[in-house]
Amino acid sequence: MMKRLNGVWLALLLIIFATPSLAADYSQSIAVDGTYEVMFHHCGTTPDGYATNLGYNTIAPAHGSFSNGGTGTLSLAQELADCGTTTGTIPSEIVLYTADSGYNGADSFQFYNSETTINDNYYLAIGIDTGDIPSSVVSAGKNMISSVNFLTKFISIRTASIFRRAAPGVAQGQGGSPAAISSANDLIDDRIDLSISQNRLGISAGDQIDRHGMWGNLGYTSTDDTNLVTASDSSLYTVVAGYDYMLTDTLAMGTAITYENMDEDSQYNLGSAQTDGYSLAPYLSWMVTDYLSFDLIAGYTFVSYEQDRASGTITSSLDAQRYFMQSAINNFYYKDNWTFVANLAYLFAHESQEGFTESNTTVIPENKIDIAQFTAGLEVAYGFAHVEPYLLLAFEYDAKYDAVLGVDYDRTGGDVGFGLRMNFLDSLTMDINGASKFARANFNEYSFQGNLRYAF
């Protein structure tokens, strides 16, 4: 048994850590009709010529072209430093990028790096200048999706857990655990979610269902945007309190109230922003069949902004209204001590910012931002007597995102996380987890949260 468990954990660790090497990203702002010298890393014993370097191009630019840049202006010290050595031969001829005539926007391309054996990504902002734009305009979309994603993701985990291990018909037909094949009326409480059998929790089969649940959550999210024209980093702190009630054995409703605070430092305008948000989010969970549930979350957030730019010399403040909705379908499967939960979700969020005037008399008009996102996810959990570790994996696609000034935005990405559910008393449970975004170009995000719930 121990060997089998060791093999399971080894496989999970390989999934988490056996990720490919990440490519290097280079960002630069150039003028309309401007040029850019591609930074090469091919430091061999003989110089690479223009034709050889051009052959490393794996993704061509959409709004520019390449030509022979000759020796260029890249310094010897810079080239050698990028090659990771203090000796060597730098290219005698480079590739020169020239933007299409009159084009104003973003462009990108990719070259294979023979030194690192991975691809390097290049992102150019052509004629784009966000230095004179306040953070509430440039960063609002990415900050809103981070905030709403965190809240809806946590509530989704909560709603899905209400009916976990309440699928007796499916479990009996598939060799499920003792908890999975017990009566659904005896398995609604989250105490049993954390156990493989009722006997391990010391709960008799005749105990009354705890229909009420009160819970609290603390969370932290860190984001880092490395795109040249939107570069910033932020910290989001979230406090959530919730209550839910089981109307019937297959229908539960609840509500959550939230306070959030976000601090952002924005490099693109030498500024910063602080936001405070207050949310109300009712939710519903319905066990449609023995193995399928449907969740619905709707919410409203009032957001206040305090921000500055130009090293604090220009200040402003404003208020905004945010609305969001998420629907999700969850499919449960039990096998011995394992629990698998697959889900498909759709999220929509809208923020409406009021117009305002900066301290230097610049008038900023009303701004509206919309996002829409599809998510397909999987939770894999293994239950012990009072502890249940689990792995989360999700893939995201942003069907709608209001990009800033035409800057390229990576619509696809993913989320991977690991958590632990614990049962301390008959009615008290704790859930802690951490997660990280992956496969989003020029964007990183890490989140951590802890939840405590009391059932009665």
pLDDT digits (tens, 9 = 90+) for 58-95: 999 999 999 987 766 666 555 555 555 545 555 456 78
pLDDT in tens, 293-339: 999 999 999 999 999 999 999 999 999 999 999 999 999 999 999 99
Q: Give dist(CA 78, CA 97) in Å, integer.
A: 19
Exposure of 213 by Cβ count < 10 A (0-12 exposed, 13-18 middle, 19+ buried)? Answer: buried
Is the pLDDT at 182 greater than 50? The verdict is no
Is the pLDDT at 15 greater than 80? The verdict is no
Average pLDDT over residues 360-371: 93
Q: Give dist(CA 379, CA 341) in Å, integer.
A: 5
pLDDT value at residue 92: 54
Average pLDDT over residues 383-393: 93
Is the pLDDT at 446 greater than 80? The verdict is yes
Average pLDDT over residues 427-442: 91
Q: Report the greatest alpha carbon distance in the chain.
A: 84
- Supply 448's token pair: 């951590």
Instruction: Give the residue with greater pLDDT, 46 vs 39.
Output: 39
3-state secondary structure of 73: coil
Q: Could you say which DSSP state residue 89 is in? A: -
Task: Transcribe 161-226 into DSSP letters.
Answer: HHTTT--HHHHHHTTB-TTTTS-GGGS-SHHHHT-S-HHHHT--TTPPP--EEEEEEEEEEEEEE-
pLDDT in tens, 196-215: 333 333 332 334 567 898 99
pLDDT value at residue 325: 97
Average pLDDT over residues 259-264: 97
- Among the residue ranges 75-84, 240-249, 267-276, the one predicted with the least confidence is 75-84
pLDDT value at residue 409: 75
Instruction: Give the residue with greater pLDDT, 5 vs 406.
Output: 406
Phi/psi at 442 (nearest 5 deg)? 60, 25
Average pLDDT over residues 209-223: 91
3-state secondary structure of 130: coil
pLDDT value at residue 205: 31
Is the pLDDT at 43 greater than 90? The verdict is no
Q: Could you say which DSSP state residue 63 is in? A: S
Determine how β-strand 212-225 pairs with β-strand 314-335: unpaired
Is the pLDDT at 143 greater than 70? The verdict is yes
**Cα–Cα distance list, 113 to 19, 45, 183, 214, 366 (Å):** 19, 16, 60, 54, 45
Instruction: Assign 363 a pLDDT band (cuts: 50, 70, 90).
Output: very high
Instruction: Assign 426 a pLDDT band (cuts: 50, 70, 90).
Output: confident
pLDDT value at residue 204: 29
Average pLDDT over residues 233-241: 96
Average pLDDT over residues 46-57: 73
Q: Give dist(CA 180, CA 171) in Å, integer.
A: 6
The half-sphere exposure of 157 on its side-chain side, counting CA atoms within 13 A, is 29
pLDDT value at residue 402: 73
Instruction: Give the residue with greater pLDDT, 257 vs 90.
Output: 257
Instruction: Assign 45 a pLDDT band (cuts: 50, 70, 90).
Output: very low
pLDDT value at residue 408: 63
- Supply 322's token pair: 């945010």
Q: Give dist(CA 320, CA 357) in Å, integer.
A: 15
Do 243 and 214 contact (CB within 8 A), yes or no? yes
Phi/psi at 154 (nearest 5 deg)? -70, -45
Average pLDDT over residues 340-366: 95
Instruction: Assign 227 a pLDDT band (cuts: 50, 70, 90).
Output: confident
Tell me the pLDDT of the chain averaged across its residues: 80
Q: Could you say which DSSP state residue 404 is in? A: S
Average pLDDT over residues 393-410: 81
Instruction: Assign 7 a pLDDT band (cuts: 50, 70, 90).
Output: very low
pLDDT value at residue 172: 34
Q: Give dist(CA 158, CA 455) in Å, integer.
A: 13
**Cα–Cα distance list, 103 to 62, 64, 323, 454 (Å):** 11, 9, 35, 59
